[in-house]
Amino acid sequence: MSDEKTDAIVIRCVDFSETSSIVTFFTKDFGKVTALAKGARRKKGPFESALDLLATCRIVFLHKSGDVLDLLTEAKLQHRLRASEVDISRLYASYYVAELLQSLTDEFDPHPELFGTTHEFLRLNENPKVDYEPLILRYELMLLRETGHLPSLYKCAGCGKTVASAPRTAFGLLAGGIICDSCRHGQRRIVSIREEVLLILRYFADPEGDAWRTDDRYRDREKEIRPIMNQYFVELMGKRPKLHGYIPILGKS
Ligand SMILES: [Zn+2]
């Protein structure tokens, strides 16, 4: 049993009893952590609004050994989600981030950079001056990169050889990225993507790049990019993410 402190984002909260909740956090130092929050459902509970969905907070929890649930002992609110005050689609975009973290990260598998990226997403998504559609694509690609699921965008996902640029390239949803002509035969779930689409995916997936802030070509290609990304997540998660149905640009494809 040990007392752990870390910065955390609330990604799930379910009722456990009349007075308690089970809260899942995406934490900076431990990755996903699920803990019992005793008294969280009481009106004047010990955690107040720190456990609202997607709140950023500083938490202390008791890490128990074996199958026993960790126990939350402190949660101090640092930032509350404000996307809902801006636009309902932005609120759903933030919920989508929580859904992806819940599905694609593991307990006690830390990704401090992804924590920073998530925090940044939530803050930028509150800003009406920032377009949230390219922001979602940027976040998806950063999350895929951090969790080891980024599709191969330069080399063939089959043989590892660099794929020569062409007006259209085969993209394997199951193979996990672009595929060269020799590896294409017999592959299932292939889509053909235009060179401009591939370039946008590369720019947006570049951790150092800021093309997602400025690249107008995203808008022109959005209708082609979204189905590929949506299907990629469906294959990865084994089901359609729930929030795809709530966000206009994700729901259309
Ligand atoms: Zn190949």
Q: Which two structure tokens, joined as six digits, stand for 42?
A: 């009481």
Measured in angstroms, how far is the CA atom of residue 181 from the centroid of ligand 1?
7
Cα 128 to ligand 1 centre (Å): 43
Do the beta carbons of residue 56 and residue 8 sit within 8 Å?
yes
Distance 3 CA to ligand 1 centre (A): 49
CB 157 within 8 A of CB 175: yes
With a cut of 70, say whether residue 253 has pLDDT above it: no
Residue 27 tokens, joined: 């934490």
What type of residue is 83? A
Residue range 149-165: mean pLDDT, rounded: 96
pLDDT of 252 > 60? The answer is no
Average pLDDT taken over every residue of the chain: 93
Average pLDDT over residues 94-101: 97
- Give the H/E segment covering residue 120: helix 112-125
Quote the pLDDT of residue 84: 67
d(CA 161, CA 155): 5
**Is a pLDDT exceeding 80 seen at residue 1?**
no
Cα 11 to ligand 1 centre (Å): 38
Tokens standing for residue 25? 């956090």
Question: Which three-class secondary structure string do you get for 149-185?
Answer: CCCECCECCCCCCECCCCCEEEEECCCCEEECHHHHC
> Domains, the chain, ranges and CATH?
2-79 (2.40.50.140), 131-152+167-251 (no CATH)
152 Cα: distance to centroid of ligand 1 (angstroms): 11
Distance CA 90, CA 107 (A): 27
CA–CA distance, 169 with 198 (Å, rounded to integer): 8
Calculate how far, in angstroms, residue 8's C-alpha sits from the geometric centre of ligand 1.
41
What is the C-alpha separation between 253 and 231, in angstroms, rounded? 9
> Which pairing describes strands 177-179 and 168-172: parallel, antiparallel, or unpaired?
antiparallel
CA 70 to ligand 1 centroid distance, Å:
46
With vertex at residue 171, the alpha carbon angle to CA 116 and CA 183, rounded to the nearest 5 degrees, is 125
Distance 44 CA to ligand 1 centre (A): 60
Per-residue pLDDT of 28-49, as tens digits, reads 999 999 999 999 998 888 898 8
Between 252 and 161, the more confident residue is: 161
